[in-house]
Amino acid sequence: MTYCVGMVLDRGLVFMSDTRTNAGLDNISTFKKLTTWESPGDRVITLLSAGNLATTQSVISLLDERSKSPGDRTPSLLGVPSLFQAARMVADTLREVIERTGDSGQRADGTFNATIMLGGQIAGSPPRLFLIYPEGNFIEAGDDTPFFQMGETKYGRPILVRAFDPDLSFEAAMKLLLVSFDSTLKANLTVGAPFDFHIYETDSLTIGQTGRIEADSPWFEAVSKGWGEALKSALDSLPDVKLSKLQ
Amino acid sequence: MTYCVGMVLDRGLVFMSDTRTNAGLDNISTFKKLTTWESPGDRVITLLSAGNLATTQSVISLLDERSKSPGDRTPSLLGVPSLFQAARMVADTLREVIERTGDSGQRADGTFNATIMLGGQIAGSPPRLFLIYPEGNFIEAGDDTPFFQMGETKYGRPILVRAFDPDLSFEAAMKLLLVSFDSTLKANLTVGAPFDFHIYETDSLTIGQTGRIEADSPWFEAVSKGWGEALKSALDSLPDVKLSKLQ
């Protein structure tokens, strides 16, 4: 499995993904699932991937090759005029890779599927965030649903639903994400640290803070340990009722 | 779907279940999923059910009929010498009902399945809690895993894992359960209020507090509304890190 979150804040976009891949519980590895393309001053595009690793690596390689050959920049992620067109291109590439693998050779029903989150900004437009399905269609985040999750979404969702706020600071958003990831990590062995992140500030049009948080980083340990206590205090702060009143 | 939790505390057992049943998203109803048998001074047994409603109702009716015919109290839930034997009886009845439905008439693969949680106390033994699978085998809660969930378990699990403590008061345990149920409710339409509960105090050997919490009960509303704020304060209380240090 995988766990990835992308969120649209007033001040920019924040992405985080785990790095665990597995082929069965007895075969786990670490792979980067967060990729960023940049053309400083013009665009920044970040892609998070979940699903079959061969599929997602192939998609990224195809996108990457196209964006690196300057004579052939159209169509490429660095050449498209809008993020919507970027999402279409990624969606087409994704469907193409899935179809090519699925049509020939050995069959493995459904296992070639992958889902991709794509977000970023192209000069002249606001930041946007898309969730792309293996079928090649996609949805965009809006005011009502300003964040997307992929993979093992359930354990980490309640805290996101409750505490997400578009005017969160980047620091607060990162804390929120770490708590959401920690909740998932504690319940599903196929989601694992380290976590990759990218923080994109609106209109900077350049890659923002990006990095990797290890399981033994002092900050993650403090968040993980502190959260249990913080939750207990939060529970204590809720109103008590004499149980006899409930009958 | 369904959401049920049973927990073993130092001071007794606490059970809670939702009441929503559904046959498709467009056909929902309210049914009680919590049943209690009592023989004051001798035993209290509580059963929570999840899965096919026809199966679980049939199981409960069979158990109930047997426990009500005094001449035939053995084997019956009110006659067995231990809670382990009670779990075996429930498991056998469950398997019998599933097999009878599955063996003849129309087929609906897997849909006759049900899972049952059984807890209580019989004089002379401590309280015990079992989780019974449709195959007719079962597991018992212990010190390492002192609570069980059934149905849509994922959304409500992180708060239980973090905040559960065997020495919780009954009031605190109920608050914890309501938060766990509220998180589930907010994410899965097939889990719905009202919630039935039963609080059993160790060695009382009589039904404890039992009742139903409606979605519009002032307490549940206070917990549900207060929890969002409490979580935000909890997040704020976690240590901040200068993001530049993460790189």
Q: For residue range B189-202, list pLDDT tens digits in order.
A: 999 999 999 999 99
**Mean pLDDT score, B4-15:** 98
pLDDT, residue B110, reads 60
Domain A3-237 is found in CATH 2.60.120.10: no
Q: In whole angstroms, what is the distance from residue B153 CA to residue B90 CA?
A: 22
Confidence of residue B66 (pLDDT cuts 50, 70, 90): confident
Q: Is B156 on the interface with A (CB under 8 A)?
A: yes
Q: In whole angstroms, what is the distance from residue A170 CA to residue A84 CA?
A: 25
pLDDT, residue A108, reads 61
In this predicted structure, the answer to whether residue B241 has a pLDDT above a threshold of 60 is yes
Confidence of residue B42 (pLDDT cuts 50, 70, 90): very high
* pLDDT-wise least confident of A27-36, B60-69, B144-153: B60-69
**Coil, helix or strand at residue A151:** strand
End-to-end CA distance of chain B: 44
Count of alpha carbons within 13 Å of B59, Cβ hemisphere only? 36
State the complex-level ipTM: 0.87
Task: Share the mean pLDDT of chain B.
Answer: 91
Beta-carbon neighbour count of residue A52 at 10 Å? 22
Which of chain A's residues have a Cβ under 8 Å away from the Cβ of B155?
154-155, 157-158
Among the listed residues B12, B2, B11, the one whose alpha carbon sits nearest the alpha carbon of residue B46: B12
Which of chain B's residues have a Cβ under 8 Å away from the Cβ of A157?
155, 187
**Mean pLDDT score, B41-47:** 97
Put simply, the answer to whether A238 touches B179 (Cβ < 8 Å) is yes
User: What are the Cα distances from residue A70, in Å, to A73, A76, A79, B195, B224?
Assistant: 5, 9, 10, 62, 55
* pLDDT-wise least confident of A30-39, B24-33, B150-159: B24-33
Q: In whole angstroms, what is the distance from residue B135 CA to residue B51 CA?
A: 13
Which of chain B's residues have a Cβ under 8 Å away from the Cβ of A165?
232
Q: Which residues of chain A are modeled with pLDDT < 50?
A: 247
Put simply, the answer to whether A209 touches B162 (Cβ < 8 Å) is no
Higher pLDDT, A172 or B68: A172
B117 strand-pairing partners: B48, B131
Confidence of residue B75 (pLDDT cuts 50, 70, 90): confident
The CATH architecture annotation of domain B3-238 reads 4-Layer Sandwich (3.60)
Put simply, the answer to whether B161 touches A199 (Cβ < 8 Å) is no
Query: Read out DSSP for chain B?
Result: --EEEEEEETTEEEEEE--EEESSTT-EEE---EEEEEETTTEEEEEEEEE-HHHHHHHHHHHHHHHH-GGG-TTSTTT-SSHHHHHHHHHHHHHHHHHHHHHSSS--TTTT-EEEEEEEEETTS--EEEEE-TTS-EEE--SSS-EEEEES-STTHHHHHHH--TT--HHHHHHHHHHHHHHHHTT-TTS-S-EEEEEEETT--S--EEEEE-TT-HHHHHHHHHHHHHHHHHHHHSPP--GGGG-
What element of type H or E holds A182? helix A170-185
Q: Are strands B3-9 and A28-30 parallel, antiparallel or unpaired?
A: unpaired
Six-digit token pair at B12?
A: 């007794």
What element of type H or E holds A69? none
pLDDT, residue B228, reads 87
Six-digit token pair at A140?
A: 């965009």
Q: Is A25 on the interface with B (CB under 8 A)?
A: no
Among the listed residues B101, B65, B70, B63, the one whose alpha carbon sits nearest the alpha carbon of residue B85: B63
pLDDT, residue B247, reads 47
Show Cβ contacts of residue B227 under 8 Å, excluding neighbours closer than 6 positions.
A162, A234, A238, B179, B182
Q: Is B244 on the interface with A (CB under 8 A)?
A: yes
Q: In whole angstroms, what is the distance from residue B199 CA to residue B202 CA?
A: 10
List the strands of the sheet with B138-140, edge to edge: B34-39, B43-51, B114-122, B128-132, B138-140
Shortest distance, CA A144 to any CA of chain B (angstroms): 15
Angle among Cα A246, B5, B11 to the nearest 5 degrees reads 65
Which of chain B's residues have a Cβ under 8 Å away from the Cβ of A161?
186-187
Q: Which single residue is written with the structure tokens 């993650």?
A: A220
Six-digit token pair at B113?
A: 């399945």
Q: Is B216 on the interface with A (CB under 8 A)?
A: no
A154-197 pLDDT per residue, tens: 999 999 999 999 999 999 999 999 999 999 999 999 999 999 99
DSSP-assigned letter for residue A103: H
pLDDT, residue A25, reads 84
Scanning B180-209 for CB atoms below 8 A from A yields 183, 186-187, 197, 199, 209
Q: Is A44 on the interface with B (CB under 8 A)?
A: no
**Coil, helix or strand at residue A106:** coil
